[in-house]
């Protein structure tokens, strides 16, 4: 609690201690004999104790020409209550108003604290190394090309390249993923990550303002400036709401006695009701809680490594029904690797004619990797990689090739070699045909590599682009949220169809040139339903025009890629496409909370206005409708600030 809040609390307690005995005395009739002026005076004491700052502020604001201000309205309302001799009402309203304000200020303080914790990824210093040794400086003061030292446990202050040492990096501040990443000499290092056990020496490649962490902070901080439609609605609403309620209050005093037929005698009753109106006239609950909800949503997303560049994108995201994906690099890893090794025992068809017996997966990989040992072909590399994943490599990704001889490349077909004294053929079906070896055609998707050992067919190795772990999950989330997913690719029909059916994607378009992708997205945009939007996600490097054209462009794997961060509206720092599901959830939840707050705040206010016009609700209810609703709406929005905080 700040000292300002404490002072306010003491005043509230003091006023309450004086007020409650007075309230009891009033209700038990003990004050009835006192002259009016004395009763006024005794209630004035707690009133002034708790409310003098409100009066002070009101007077200053009037002198500045600020009439429709909360303090002024509270002053008029309580003066009105005094005027109609409702002394306890006046004091109580001021007391509760101040309690509400205190809660509100506390809640706002808490929210601000949560926000600054969110922003807590900024590095505080850098260890600059120069002729005189190592000293701590502001990251801002480090020039490009300087050498900095990052000690164990420290936050990486600037982007650069490692020139000495190796360590594990915790990138969770950037990607939301609590995965440790190994880093060594020659590799780029991004600011905002936390260094593990090793000490690193780094040459900086960027100034602080251009470094990853500074750009992210800037983005998140400015996100509030791109306002959502709902926010603009609230701003407009707030502008008209207070004057309208105030004029309604005036109308109540003027017309109430006439319409009700109470005449002059009922003026004081209507005056009190009008005062109640004034108490409800501040739109604060909406003005605070709606932006706070959005900020919370943006914060929750950034904790998961998803940067949302503005509240408006979060709002649009909740209404996206068409998700367009680029295939390679977005839904698939874009790297070719061994996805299947089929020997005899793996073949479930029962048709093993012409197949050699006794070759296990390991043996198939062993012969293939050795025969392809010297090849630089990408297929050879992926076979060697699969073999090395069994932990049998000797050096630099190459197997021990001492038992390999007579390697000849048969152009367009494959390789023949002698491994451990046995003749081995590795290549496509034509290679085996050319050597007259009988085998069974394999119908698997991808590139199929056949292997023959001792002139007998031994098995196949299937190499293909692999689907990313989160891809199926993302498509499932989209379907559950009522959307459809569409895949665009430059690949041939067959490959596209295979991936689309594996991921259960609704539509796909294959063999597209980059320009075709833009055209296709434009066509989809022109056919979309009213009030619905289209999101495109791609890797941000090749897809910049499409990212820019879509309603929402989502760039993936953007850590360290300025172009991607620039081009997109929403940025996934790592390349986990599964985060799309998280993003849909956060956007939906944010919009729910914002809508709840709007309906709740406006609903309660209108209800209290109607009830108080009818004389059912008193000023106490009005104070609740003002500050009470505000506090509740803030608390509701703060749920978003905590979203995912326990997981990150």
Partner 1 sequence: MKKKFKLEDLDCANCAAKMEAAIREIPGVMSASVNFLAQKMTIEAPDEMFDDIVNKAAECISKVEPDCKVVW
Residues designated catalytic: 326
Distance of alpha carbon 122 from alpha carbon 601, whole angstroms: 36
Residue 126 in contact with residue 158, Cβ under 8 Å?
yes
Distance of alpha carbon 233 from alpha carbon 239, whole angstroms: 10
Distance of alpha carbon 362 from alpha carbon 387, whole angstroms: 8
Q: Which alpha helices (DSSP H) does 334-391 contain, by range?
A: 361-371, 378-388
Distance of alpha carbon 13 from alpha carbon 302, whole angstroms: 41
Candidates 209, 212, 191, 204; CA nearest to 147 is 204
Query: How many residues are there in the chain?
Result: 648
Chain contacts with partner 1 (rule: CB under 8 A): 4, 57, 60-61, 64-66, 69-70, 105, 108, 111-112, 115, 221, 224-225, 235, 238, 282-284, 287-288, 291-292, 295
Q: What is the separation, in whole angstroms, between the first and last Cα of the chain?
A: 27
Q: C-beta of 108: minimal distance to partner 1 in Å?
A: 8
Distance of alpha carbon 644 from alpha carbon 633, whole angstroms: 20
67: tokens are: 């009439």
Residue 75 in contact with residue 55, Cβ under 8 Å?
yes
- Eight-class DSSP state of 68: S
Q: How does DSSP assign 87-109, residue by residue? A: HHHHHHHHHHHHHHHHHHHHHHH
Q: What is the largest CA-CA distance in the chain?
A: 122
482: tokens are: 């009522």
Candidates 62, 619, 82, 537; CA nearest to 330 is 537
Q: C-beta of 228: minimal distance to partner 1 in Å?
A: 15
Distance of CA 168 to the CA centre of its chain: 25
Residue 149 in contact with residue 129, Cβ under 8 Å?
yes
**Residue bearing tokens 């200020």:** 105
Backbone angles phi, psi at 323, to 5 degrees: -110, 115
Backbone angles phi, psi at 345, to 5 degrees: -70, -20
Q: Please compute, for residue 421, the number of CA atoms within 13 A of its CA located in the half-sphere on the CB side.
A: 0
**Helix, strand or coil for residue 638?**
helix
Q: How does DSSP assign 4-30, residue by residue? A: HHHHHHHHHHHHHHHHHHHHHHHHTTT
For residues 108 and 269, which CB has a smaller minimum distance to partner 1 in the complex?
A: 108
Q: C-beta of 90: minimal distance to partner 1 in Å?
A: 22
For residues 60 and 599, which CB has a smaller minimum distance to partner 1 in the complex?
A: 60
Residue 170 in contact with residue 127, Cβ under 8 Å?
no
494 class by beta-carbon count within 10 Å (0-12 exposed, 13-18 middle, 19+ buried): exposed
Distance of alpha carbon 316 from alpha carbon 310, whole angstroms: 10
């Amino acid at each position: 609690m700040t000292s300002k809040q404490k002072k306010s609390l003491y005043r509230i307690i003091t006023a309450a201690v004086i007020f409650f005995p007075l309230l009891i005395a009033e209700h038990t009739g003990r004050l009835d004999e006192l002259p009016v002026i004395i009763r006024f005076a005794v209630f004035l004491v707690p009133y002034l104790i708790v409310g003098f700052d409100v009066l002070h502020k009101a007077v200053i604001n009037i002198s500045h020409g600020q009439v429709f201000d909360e303090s002024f309205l509270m002053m008029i309302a309580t003066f009105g209550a005094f005027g109609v001799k409702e002394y306890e009402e006046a004091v109580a309203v001021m007391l509760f108003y101040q309690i509400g304000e205190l809660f509100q200020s506390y809640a706002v303080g808490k929210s601000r604290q949560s926000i600054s914790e969110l922003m807590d990824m900024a590095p505080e210093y850098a260890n600059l190394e120069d002729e005189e040794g190592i000293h701590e400086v502001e990251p801002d003061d480090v020039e490009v090309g300087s050498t900095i030292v990052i000690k164990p446990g420290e936050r990486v202050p600037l982007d650069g390249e490692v020139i000495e040492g190796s360590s594990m990096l915790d990138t969770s501040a950037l990607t939301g993923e609590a995965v440790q990443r190994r880093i060594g000499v020659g590799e780029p290092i991004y600011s905002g990550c936390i260094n593990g056990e090793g000490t690193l020496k780094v040459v900086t490649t960027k100034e602080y303002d251009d470094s990853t962490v500074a750009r992210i902070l800037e983005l998140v901080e400015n996100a509030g400036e791109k306002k959502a439609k709902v926010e603009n609605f609230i701003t407009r609403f707030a502008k008209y709401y207070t004057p309208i309620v105030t004029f309604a209050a005036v109308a109540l005093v003027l017309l109430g006695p006439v319409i009700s037929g109470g005449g002059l005698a009922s003026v004081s009753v209507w005056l009190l009701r009008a005062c109640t109106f004034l108490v409800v006239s501040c739109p604060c609950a909406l003005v605070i809680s709606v932006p706070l909800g959005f900020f919370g949503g943006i914060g929750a997303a950034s904790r998961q490594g998803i940067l949302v560049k503005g509240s408006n994108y979060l709002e649009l995201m909740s209404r996206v029904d068409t998700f367009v994906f680029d295939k390679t690099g977005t839904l698939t890893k874009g790297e070719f690797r061994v996805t299947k090794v089929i020997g005899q025992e793996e073949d479930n068809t029962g048709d093993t004619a012409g197949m050699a017996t006794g070759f296990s997966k390991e043996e198939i990989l062993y012969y293939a990797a050795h025969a392809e040992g010297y090849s630089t072909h990408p297929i050879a590399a992926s076979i060697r990689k699969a073999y090395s994943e069994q932990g049998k490599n000797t050096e630099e990704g190459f197997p021990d090739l001492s038992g390999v001889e007579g390697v000849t490349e048969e152009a367009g077909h494959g390789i023949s070699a002698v491994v451990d004294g046995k003749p081995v053929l590795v290549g496509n079906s034509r290679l085996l045909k050319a050597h007259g070896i009988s085998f069974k055609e394999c119908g698997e998707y991808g590139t199929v590599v056949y292997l023959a050992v001792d002139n007998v067919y031994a098995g196949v190795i299937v190499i293909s682009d692999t689907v990313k772990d989160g891809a199926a999950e993302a498509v499932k989330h989209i379907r559950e949220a009522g959307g459809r997913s569409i895949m665009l690719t430059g690949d041939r029909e067959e490959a596209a169809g295979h991936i689309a059916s594996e991921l259960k994607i609704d539509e796909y378009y294959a063999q597209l040139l980059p320009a075709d992708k833009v055209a296709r997205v434009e066509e989809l945009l022109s056919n979309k339903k009213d009030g619905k939007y289209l999101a495109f996600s791609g890797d941000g490097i090749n897809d910049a025009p499409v990212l820019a054209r879509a309603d929402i462009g989502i760039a993936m794997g953007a850590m360290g890629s300025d172009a991607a961060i620039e081009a997109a509206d929403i940025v996934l720092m790592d390349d986990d496409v599964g985060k799309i599901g998280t993003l849909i959830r956060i956007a939906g939840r944010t919009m729910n909370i914002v809508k709840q707050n709007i309906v709740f705040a406006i609903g309660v206010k209108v209800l209290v206005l109607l009830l108080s016009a009818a004389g059912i609700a008193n000023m106490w209810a009005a104070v609740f409708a003002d500050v009470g609703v505000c506090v509740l709406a803030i608390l509701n929005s703060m749920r978003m600030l905590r979203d995912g905080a326990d997981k990150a």
